[in-house]
Amino acid sequence: MRHGNGDGAGGGQAGAEFDLAAMEILEPLAEKYGLFLAKRTCWHVQFRGNRRMFDVACDPWTSWALGARVGIWPDADSGPAVGGVPVPWPRALSVQEILHTVHGMRENAWPWIAATPAELRAILLTLAGLVDQYCGELLVDDDAFARAEILVNQEITERKAFLRQFEDC
């Protein structure tokens, strides 16, 4: 579903709506954790600070499908390459995966979809609340992030093994 007239890869009305909502709702959360806006495109906002990352993306072509990740950068001052040597990509976990695995939460089990700007704002507000309540420690504590990463990876491995049982049927 497309939103607004003349939407394109460059933005349009949907991009402006997402941008405004993300800044109004997520910027105070990022400020609380000492993050700053590192990257901003039409459908993607990434807050970064020290070694922490909070990344939110929205795909208006699939009716505002929304996702968020928290993570850790390998080095606070590194760019894509240092001295010609590529730096590893940051480690990041899906907020949904974290909440389900680490906290057993089901309140965020809805599809990350909003058909209107008002619904987008409601989802961003809920997302900000969940991150603040349940994922906040991952944005300030490397050990907490490492523990969550291990649990999430174990659950993903178990899920894949479970699904493989049905591939031969």
Most confident segment among 11-15, 102-106, 131-135: 131-135
Return the half-sphere exposure (C-beta side, CA atoms, 13 A cut-off) of residue 163: 6
Per-residue pLDDT, 25 = 95
Per-residue pLDDT, 32 = 95
- For residue 67, which amino acid is it? G
The helix/strand/coil state of 70 is strand
pTM: 0.78
C-alpha–C-alpha distance, residues 3 and 155, integer Å: 36
C-alpha–C-alpha distance, residues 38 and 47, integer Å: 5
C-alpha–C-alpha distance, residues 147 and 141, integer Å: 10
Q: Exposed/middle/buried for 25, CB within 10 Å: 0-12, 13-18, 19+?
A: buried
Assess contact for 52 and 74: CB atoms under 8 A. Answer: no
For 115, which DSSP code? Answer: S
Q: Would you state the structure tokens that stand for residue 148, as one six-digit string?
A: 């969550």
Per-residue pLDDT, 48 = 93
Tell me which of 64-68, 120-124, 143-147 is least confident: 64-68
* pLDDT for residue 100 is more than 70: yes
More confident residue, 6 or 18: 18
Assess contact for 34 and 49: CB atoms under 8 A. Answer: yes
Classify each residue of 124-133 as buried b or exposed e, where b means 16 or more C-beta atoms within 10 Å of its C-beta: beebbebbee
Mean pLDDT of the chain: 82
- For residue 49, which amino acid is it? G
* pLDDT for residue 138 is more than 70: yes
Per-residue pLDDT, 76 = 47
